[in-house]
Each structure stands twice: as structure tokens, then as C-alpha cells.
Structure 1
């Protein structure tokens, strides 16, 4: 098992359409103003800050809701905006505050055996102080429903959970900010992809990825207590081309698939602990971490492996500490670490590793290392 995508196309579906006052108009009509409890079946807008006491808006069909910079406040309960499978729906430009669930999805009762499909986009939103920002649940496994939640240019702040859900649709996030949330992702049987974004000061980024996955690329992760708690059942994590700093733990003790490629990982406690998980750690720079990389080698009886290839380890405590069959080391450079450079008894030496000026001797265990290159 050399490589596998985790979050490719992230789709699925959810529950049932609420009964309330419908706001309808001909397709060619101008957008209409809506308020708490409305079922929105044409393009619409919010014309003032609105407190809904737990009863928000339900979108049905192909519609766009423009909040026009206003706030939709749930006062601590209910669902703010419910998108309905079977249509293409967009929500733009405003704030969702104080909801039990700010955005959720419902499955129409006439979805049929083949399930329903939803395409939902969200842009220019702020989701602040909600219990859950976006519930991705749509009964994708048993109901056959499919949906994608597209997020861009949005801010998630002080929420209990940003993305959650069982048998959910996939979330694809671009150019957004996650600040001081308790948990960013905790899900089962679905996936989330985050790119070109900032994640700062969150307690946990990835809590549960059971039979699902999280991909973060081209982003900045700073001062999050834990990026990934690890230990996911049949789940996986991919981190690519990110700047990651200031965490107690970046990747916690794993028992599943992890891919860490071309990141800059600086000033953390434990950077990567693969435990008995598998995957690849390739082309990263590890600097000033207490522990840069550690693992025990993969278990499970399948063709699982760990590849540690082309990384640079500088001024960490321990750079590479790993044991066990199924681990391969190639072209890594470790120097000026206060502990071990490369301590890897029992691994497969693919050559090209270098180590010098590390605090523990010998400089390399388990692989043959060259020293400092001549200038």
C-alpha cells in the first residue's frame, strides 16, 4: 500500500423538510426578504439582524440566500440554516451566531431508493459561538444520499465543533479561517478537505476520523494545542505544504494512515508520533521540536509500511526515533539536534541518510549515515 487519496470527492445527505410558512415566487422574480421559520424556495435575502429563538431558515430547490452582512442569531438553540438535498443552494455574506447547529442538511421525504443529491456552497460567512457550525450528516451509507458542502472565504470562531456528522457529505474548504474552536473536525464515514486557510488557537483540529479523513494543504496552523489526536479507526490524515508551529502535539499516536509531505514543522512538542500506524513522512523540515518523529512500525498483517524520506531535522530534541520492520529510511538529514540524530534499529536502510553534531552517540543507529558534507 504505497499511497492513497483520503479525501477525493466528499459526498452524502440528511433528514426531512420542516413545515412552516413558504416563501415562493416565479424564478424570474427579484429576491425576497425572509425571516425566522421561512421555507425559502426562491432567491432571498435578510434585511436586518434577526434573532430567531432557535427557529431558522430552510432552503429548498435551487436558491441563493444573501444575508447582506446581517446576523442570524439562534439565541442558543435550533438550526440556523437547513439546506435540503435535491437542489443547488448558496448562502452568502453574513453571520450565524449562537445556534445549536448553524448549518445542517435535510433529506426530502421523496428522496427514493437511489437517494438524493445536494450541492451546497457557502461564502463570506462568519460562524461564531455555535455548538456545531456545520453538521454534514445526510445518511449517505444507508440512504444512498450524496452532497458536497463548499466553503470559501469564511471564518469559524469560538464554536464547540466546526465540522461533524455521521455518514455525511464531504466538506471542501478554501481560503477560510478557524480561530479558537474547541474542535475543528470530528466525523464518521465522511471527509473534510481544507486548503489555503489559517487554523489558529484551536484546542483540537482533528478529534475523530473514523472511516473518514482530513486533508489540510497549503495552510498555516499555529498555536493549536493538538492538530491530530491520532488513533482513528480506519481513518486517515494528510498534511501537505503547510506551516505548522506552536502545538503540544501535531500528529498524536496513530494506528491508521498518515501522510505528511513537504511541511515546515517548527517549535512543537511532539511533531509526529505514528505509533503503529502507517504512511509516509516525506520532504519536511522539522526544526526546534521536542520530538520530531517517532514510531514503532506498522502492524496489521497487510502490506503496510512507513516511509521516512528526504526530511531535514535541525535543532530538535530527538530527530528520528523508530523501531520495527516495515519502516524505510532514505535521504534524511539530521544535525544539531540535542538528542538522537537517527535511532532506527530494525528498519530498512534505503541509503542516503546523513547525521552530524547531534547530542547522542552514535549519530545513527540502524542505518548507515554519512557525516556533514564537505563545503
Structure 2
């Protein structure tokens, strides 16, 4: 008896039906300009769309650009996301659009997660717009291992947020731009942009990232912004805040070779355990209204032109060290002295104004 006959008898005896799987799974469809994708799709070549939106995704879809470029018009959107449901976009370049990726209608209910990975966004008005509906839950945007180059804005939103990890931003007008939203930026490099992070009425947080050679590193308004364990280097201004009635925390960072490292205007903030080195000015504040306060604890200011310089009340200093700065060590005539501040080797005397520093502070 032939082997196929034996198998057939066994299957029939079990009361089942044996269906052979095809030797190769069906290839994902190849979309064209203006297509609405209802199944997983991929590009097999570059796709240029001279007018109108590029591709529209429906819920549950994965779009794989396979290393190709989706290019289009500065008045249209490259990839339109569904209002609800999860989608994934990966492996390619989105270039020349008014907006590279954006949800269809943010004034309707918005939800689900958009996963964006290993993409390059170049020469768009905005790379990824994560805006959501005012008062709605919004769509979560998980952006990883992506590059944003020469866009007006890299990632931004009004009433929306994003989680950005292991990504690079260079040459953008504003790399990350959020109004009434928020972003968590982790393990990323943001270099050579007009502004690295603009955070207005938003909850913004930076962790383990490098913000270098930007006009402004972090600009915070209203709610504040938190920066942890990061390097801010070579920026005209590394961290600036205005009108922050919330609170900013700047902790465990290296602020190196900036014009002004930290400047606060009418803002609440805590600066803790940071290293300030080689800046034109380490820290300054205008104090603002009486209800706004700042606290500096355990920071080290070494070899700046000026370390700590401000005259306004409302700022407390504790356990800070200012050594070997070209001019002022600690000049803070109206500060609240919480003790433990030290200074030595600075160009201007006295070494400390406004706080008591023991003679002969610790070496750098």
C-alpha cells in the first residue's frame, strides 16, 4: 500500500479532513498612492505621490516600507492613521510631506497604539504629529530607533503625547514640540536643532539622552519639564523655563560648554546633583513673583565663566560647590542659605555672596 493511502485512511478514520498548507504564504499587497490599506502591506520600490495623501491605514495593519522611501507633497500627509486601533509602521523613509504620519481626525474619539520603528523622517513640515482630541484619551505613539532630519518639527502634538526611545534628531527647527500634551524621551540624541524640546502646558521628561549643539536644549512653560541623567552640551541655552507654576526637576545631568546652562524666569524648579562645567553662565534666575521658588542642592560648578549669579529672592542653596570659575563662584545676595555651600579658586572675591562658605572649600 502506498504511504499516501495509509495517511488518507488514518485521517478518514479519525473523522477529520487533512488540508495541506501552501508552500509559501501569500505576499503582502503592494500599495499605490492614495490606497486605503485593509491588510498588512509592504513597498517593493520607492513611492512618490505628487498630490493628495499617501497611504491610509485601517486598524490592525502593519506597513513595512522595506527600506524604500514614501515621498510626497508639502500640502498632504504621508501616512494617515486610523482614529482607533493599533497600527505598526517600520523600515523606511518618509520624506517631503506636510506631515509624515498623522491620525485621521483628532476631533473624533482617538485610541489605540501607533508603533513607529526604524523610520527616517526627512524634509517634512512635521515628521510625526501625535495630536489627540481635547478631553479624549488620545492615541499612544511608541517611536523607536528612528531618525528625524531637516523637518520643521520632528515629533509634536497639540493635546497628544509620545514615547520616544533610541532615536536621533538633527537639523530640525524644533525636534520635539508639545503643547498641552507630553513626551517621554529616553536614550536618544538630539543635536543641531533650533530647539531640542519645547514643552508648553505639557508634561515632558528626558532621561539618559544627549541634547547637544542646539539653540535651546529644553524650553519649558506652565507645567515644567524634568531632565534626568542626561548630557546637555554646547547649546546656546541648555535649559530655560518661563511661567512654570508647576515644577521642573533637573537632576543628575552634565551641563557642559553651554552659553547659559540653566535660566529660570517666574518658575518653580529643583536642581540636584548636576555637574556644570565650561559654561558661560551656570545658573541664573529672575525669581519672578513671590510664590515661585527654586532650590539648588548638591550641584558642582567647575571652570565656568560664572557659576551661580542672581539677585532675586526665592531661591535656596544647599551643599553646592563652586570651584575654579573664571569670575563669580556664588553670587546670590538674596538667596536662602540652607548651609553646606563651598567655593574656592574663583576669580572674583568674595568667593560667596549671600551664603556662608567655609574658607578653603574642597578641591575640584
The reply to whether TM is greater than 0.5 is yes
Structure 1 residues 1-375: aligned runs within 5 Å: 31-54=28-51, 55-107=53-105, 115-141=109-135, 144-168=136-160, 170-207=161-198, 209-230=199-220, 232=221, 234-252=222-240, 254-256=242-244, 257-299=247-289, 301=291, 304-370=292-358, 371-373=360-362
Instruction: Give the drift of 1:280.
Output: 0.8
Which residue is 2:8 aligned to?
Answer: none
Contact map agreement 1:246 1:267 (CA 8 A) in 2: yes
- CA displacement, residues 264-314 of structure 1 (integer Å, 9 cap, x when unaligned): 11111111011221111111110110000001225263xx43110111001
Which secondary structure state, in structure 1, belongs to the residue aligned with residue 347 of structure 2? coil
After superposing on structure 2, the runs of 4+ consecutive aligned residues of structure 1 that deviate more than 4 Å are none
C-alpha contact 1:180 1:202 (8 A) present in aligned 2: yes
Larger Rg belongs to: 2
- How many residues were matched structurally? 336
> What's the RMSD between the two structures over aligned residues?
2.0
Contact 1:259-1:280 within 8 A present in 2 as well:
yes
1:171 aligned counterpart, secondary structure: strand
Residue by residue over 1:292-344, the C-alpha shift from the partner in whole angstroms, topping out at 9 and shown as x without a partner, is 0001225263xx43110111001111101133443211111001101111111
Secondary structure of 1:247 counterpart: coil
Seen in structure 2, the aligned counterparts of structure 1 residues 369 and 108 have a Cα distance that, compared at 3 Å, is: closer
Higher RCO structure, 1 or 2 (CA under 8 Å, sep 6+)? 1
SS in 2 for 1:102: strand
Deviation at 1:81, TM superposition (A): 0.5
Distance 1:253 1:147, change over 3 A: closer
SS in 2 for 1:159: coil
User: How far, CA to CA, are the matches of 1:134 and 1:59 in structure 2?
Assistant: 15
Structure 2 unmatched ranges of 5 or more: 1-24
Length-normalised TM-score, structure 1: 0.85
Aligned with 1:146: secondary structure?
Answer: coil
CA contact (8 A) 2:318 2:338 kept: yes
2: CA distance, partners of 1:249 / 1:105 = 33
Instruction: Confirm or deny: 8 A CA contact 2:162 2:183 kept in the other structure.
Output: yes
Name the counterpart of 2:6.
none
Q: Distance in 2 between matches of 1:281 and 1:64?
A: 43
| Whole-Å separation in 1 of the counterparts to 2:273 and 2:26 | 55
| Aligned mates of 1:293, 1:220 — CA distance in 2 | 19
Shift in Å, 1:50: 0.4
- Contact in 1 for aligned 2:320/2:342 (Cα 8 Å): yes
Moved more, 250-259 or 34-43: 250-259
Cα distance between partner residues in 2 of 1:243 and 1:187: 21
Q: How far off is 1:242 after superposition?
A: 1.0
CA distance in 1, matches of 2:181, 2:73: 29
Cα deviation, residue 229, structure 1 = 4.1
TM-score by length of 2: 0.87
Structure 1 unaligned segments of length 5 or more: list them.
Answer: 1-27
In 2, are the aligned partners of 1:53 and 1:76 still within 8 Å (CA)?
no
Secondary structure of the equivalent of 1:32? coil
